[in-house]
Structure 1
Amino acid sequence: MRLDVAILGGGIAGLWLLARLRAQGYAAMLFEAEALGAGQTLASQGIIHGGLKYAIDLKLGQDADALADMPTRWRACLEGKGDVDLAGVQVNALHHLFWARRSIASRMTGFFGSKLLRGRVDALPEADWPLALRDPEHVGAVYRLDEIVLDVPSLLAHFATRLAPWIKLCGADFRIERMGDGIAALLLRDPMGEERRIEAARYVFAAGAGNEQALTMLGQPASRAQRRPLRMLLIEGVPSPLYAHCFDTSDKPRVTVTTHQTAAGKLVWYVGGQIAEAGATQDDAALIDAAKREFATLLPRLDLSTCRFAGWHVDRAEGATPDGRKPDAPVIQAHGNALLAWPTKLALAPSLADTLLPMLPPPAVGAIAADGWPTPPIATPIWERAAWR
């Protein structure tokens, strides 16, 4: 099979790029070895950050700059007016929130009221605070951010429906035929065990941790990729929805909470932030104990006594940085006609595609078909797979 572009990896980075390429007339296909969104995409919280999360040390840096335009880009797409049509994708929350503990609320007033942030942050009156935060003895302020929260399974289903003819399921093991420092052909196995030879002008690897295998095949050191693990927390049976960061004077929120619903109709809080960073070295029992103490400190009136808890390990894979910290923006590494890509965050998928597209030659192959080659399923949400305690 001849293609203009072959994409490996069925997460948000590969799917967004495929949608852009198909819209511009490229003969492009995406190949996924497991299920769409199975790695970091479904493990994300669905927040379309505008960078203010990285201002919680009362500064704005490069992280914030890279993300500043993303909420506007995604909102346009959700309205069917952007470079990728996402009309119909479920939005869980129109705004994500910041809440500050009473002890530091006064420090936030000047910062979030500055001209720099005007229009991106609004202080909420107490009457509009979500139920979980209506504890004025311990919650000092709540701010509404210009950030939306998406239902990631709905986002994946949208791409799967619209792009199904060009998304193919393949085996986890693949081979490449080298051509200089690039690739002459990609050799994949379809679900029937038949080896398929893919020849493309460009090969884009957007497989997260799977990119490390491609680096090795291309003769590159695995150190050109990095991982930053964490252990997310799930709380099932919470009393009400919450979409918020807890503000503190560090470079990460103490907790970041989004809300999801199980197939059985139960609400689940999915919790990241500092607690998940610290959880990377803990087992589930230790994580859950730490979480109970943290929420007892932050929201002591909140009753979680009847809830069930679970941990979820996430191995965030990224392009390497010299100090091992999170990259400020998407990372792309070129090796001949092979491009290895990491979006860094779900919200930055549009930015990654913007950077990749000028690196591709114009479309040349024309119409393509792959008869009898199945489409991969959509991965099961993690709150349906968690080991509850």
Structure 2
Amino acid sequence: MATRDVDVAILGGGIAGLWLLARLQAAGYSALLLENRALGAGQTLASQGIIHGGLKYALDLKLNTASDALADMPARWRACLAGTGEVDLRGVPLAAERHLFWARKTLASRIAGFFGSKLVRGRVDALAPEQWPVVLRDPDHVAAVYALDECVLDVPALMQALVQPRQASIKRVRGDVRVSPDDDGVTIEGHDGFAQPRRLRAGALISTAGAGNESLLAQFGLSAAAAQRRPLQMLLLDNAPGPLWAHCFDASDKPRVTVTTHTRSDGSLVWYVGGQLAETGATQSPEALIAAAKDEFAALLPRQDFSGCRYATLYVERAEGATADGRKPDGPVLRRVAPLCWLAWPTKLALAPQLADQVLAELPPPSGQISDLSHWATALMAPAPWEVAAWT
């Protein structure tokens, strides 16, 4: 058996890779994470940080497999935030204790019946008008506001909490790595942050590299059809009229907009906007998306003054394990591509703990042995999108 430097190598420094690193080390594995850009630079820092509980996917008025996969996630993440879960996240601030759902009059009666049903009791609270966020206090256009059992995380702070205690196990590589598996493990070859050639021998490899998994499919002789992308173009709105963390639903079973609020380093409030607006925006120019967003918010919140706002957009490649119809997978996807190599996609930030469960169930027992890898360059954190946006 070839000498191993580490039990498990992880490719990809987003939430899935960092969460897996924490879980592996807690289980006694020696593990090393390799990132070829900056930590969180792909989908993680482009996410809105909502720990979904699945109700967003139940607007056909019935719970489904997607909502089932997410149902336990809020409680599981809250345990970690309290220091009693599988990863210690004490000190990570919440952006919002609960994410909201605001219904326009076209959907209000249907939603009231569903949210009052036994299926979701305890997971949703109807808010009295005086409890509504100030920006939603418009009874002519807002029919109801509900608080979901879904917290919203400060994603940059979450990243720091996962990275800081494990910095010595997080390294930088440049460009694509070359992966050579065999029956005893896998050899990984590449260059570090100083352009020095590096070679690593691991007992197993897990790639959580998002879109980067596609290059590994080719190395394993597999079809690129094993992965899929569902792009978005997110909207950023600076000098927002007030704090808001909410989905807005109308007649469709998809949110017209999903808004989270972030504070820039200069103190200004930014709305980071997804939902149907961002999905449609994937095929639009930034200018067209910004124009559509102005019209959308003028229609949804006509009492608010957006005249002093600045706008930007962010194109996001959501990379996932493929499904037959191209829709979002119901849960995490873990695909074995060689005896001790797996490609992994969490599907959503909230599902990173569930993906780690799947990986740990597949791995051989740990040895805990690790070589001295201090000569490898350390990977750095990517900035939050609202700190580097090109505002118009």
Whether the aligned pair in 1 keeps the contact of 2:168 and 2:374 (CA below 8 Å) is no
- 1:97 is matched with 100
How big is the shift at 1:159?
A: 1.2
Q: Distance in 2 between matches of 1:42 and 1:131?
A: 27
Mapped to 2, the partners of 1:195 and 1:103 lie a distance apart of 60
Secondary structure of the residue aligned to 1:250 is coil
Matches within 5 A, 1:96-245: 96-179=99-182, 184-245=186-247
Identity of aligned residues (%): 60
How far apart are the structure 2 equivalents of 1:104 and 1:322? 31
Aligned AA for 1:325? R
2:347 is the alignment partner of 1:341: no
Which residue of structure 1 lines up, in the alignment, with residue 353 of structure 2?
Answer: 350
Q: Confirm or deny that 1:76 pairs with 2:79.
A: yes
Question: Where does residue 366 of structure 1 map in the other structure?
Answer: 369
Tell me, in whole angstroms, the C-alpha distance in 1 between the residues paired with 2:75 and 2:167. 27
Tell whether the 8 Å contact from 2:181 to 2:341 is kept in structure 1 after alignment.
Answer: no
Q: For 1:288-340, what per-residue CA distance to the aligned partner results, in whole angstroms no more than 9, with x for missing partners?
A: 11111111111111111110011110010000001111000000110121100
Could you say which residue in structure 1 is the equivalent of 2:281? Answer: 279
Deviation at 1:59, TM superposition (A): 2.3
Letter in 1 for 2:82: E
SS at match of 1:47: coil
| Alignment check: 8 A CA contact 1:57 1:248 kept | no
Q: Which residue of 1 aligns with 2:62?
A: 59
**Residue type at the aligned position of 1:261:** T
User: 1:232 & 1:95 partners in 2: Cα distance?
Assistant: 22
Is contact 1:234–1:269 with CA below 8 Å preserved after alignment? Answer: yes
TM-score, length-scaled by structure 1: 0.97
**One of 247, 250, 264 as aligned partner of 1:248:** 250
Q: Supply the distance in 2 between the matched residues of 1:368 and 1:83 (Cα, whole angstroms).
A: 26
SS in 2 for 1:230: strand
Structure 1 distance, partners of 2:130, 2:253, is 29
Q: Partners in 2 of 1:284 and 1:29 — Cα distance? A: 38
User: Which residue of structure 2 lines up, in the alignment, with residue 8 of structure 1?
Assistant: 11
Q: Is the 8 A contact 2:7 2:370 kept in 1?
A: no
Q: Give secondary structure in 2 for the equivalent of 1:117.
A: coil
Structure-2 separation of matches of 1:202 and 1:367 = 13
1:259-303 superposed Cα distances (whole Å, 9 cap, x missing partner): 001111100000000000000100111101111111111111111
Instruction: Indicate if the aligned counterparts of 2:236 and 2:271 stay in contact, CA closer than 8 A.
Output: yes
Partner of 2:316: 314
Q: How far apart are residue 56 of structure 1 and its match?
A: 2.1
Partner SS, residue 253 of structure 1: coil
* Partner Cα separation in structure 1 for residue 294 and residue 81 of structure 2: 36
Answer whether contact 1:56 1:248 (CA < 8 A) is retained.
Answer: no
CA contact (8 A) 1:90 1:151 kept: yes
CA RMSD in angstroms comes to 1.3
Q: Which segment drifts farther, 364-373 or 110-119?
A: 364-373
Distance 1:185 1:230 in 2: 35
In the alignment, which residue of structure 1 is the partner of 2:34? 31
Q: How much has 1:240 moved relative to structure 2?
A: 0.8
Structure-1 separation of matches of 2:380 and 2:374: 18
- Opposite residue 109 of structure 1, the aligned amino acid is A
Pair 1:293-2:279 in alignment:
no
Which of the residues 49, 53, 60 maps onto 1:50? 53
In the alignment, which residue of structure 2 is the partner of 1:87? 90
Output the amino acid matched with 1:82: G
Deviation track 1:74-125 (CA, whole Å, cap 9, x = no partner) reads 0000000000111111210000000001233122111100111111000000
**1:193, CA displacement in angstroms?**
2.3
SS at match of 1:173: strand
Q: Which amino acid aligns with 1:200?
A: A
After the TM superposition, which parts of structure 1 deviate over 6 Å for at least 4 consecutive aligned residues? none
Distance 2:78 2:98 in 1: 11
The secondary structure found in structure 1 opposite 2:311 is: strand
With normalisation by structure 2, the TM-score equals: 0.97
Aligned residue pair count: 388
1:66 alignment partner AA: A
Tell me how far 1:36 sits from its aligned partner.
0.8
**Distance across 2 between alignment mates of 1:360 and 1:183:** 11
Quote the Cα distance in structure 2 between the aligned partners of 1:177 and 1:352. Answer: 24
* 1:161 alignment partner, SS class: helix
Give the drift of 1:140: 0.4
In structure 2, give the amino acid aligned to 1:306.
G
Partners of 2:147 and 2:176 lie apart in 1 by: 46
Letter in 1 for 2:170: I
Shift of 1:183: 6.1
Work out which of the residue numbers 268, 271, 286 in structure 1 matches 2:270: 268
Amino acid at match of 2:240: V
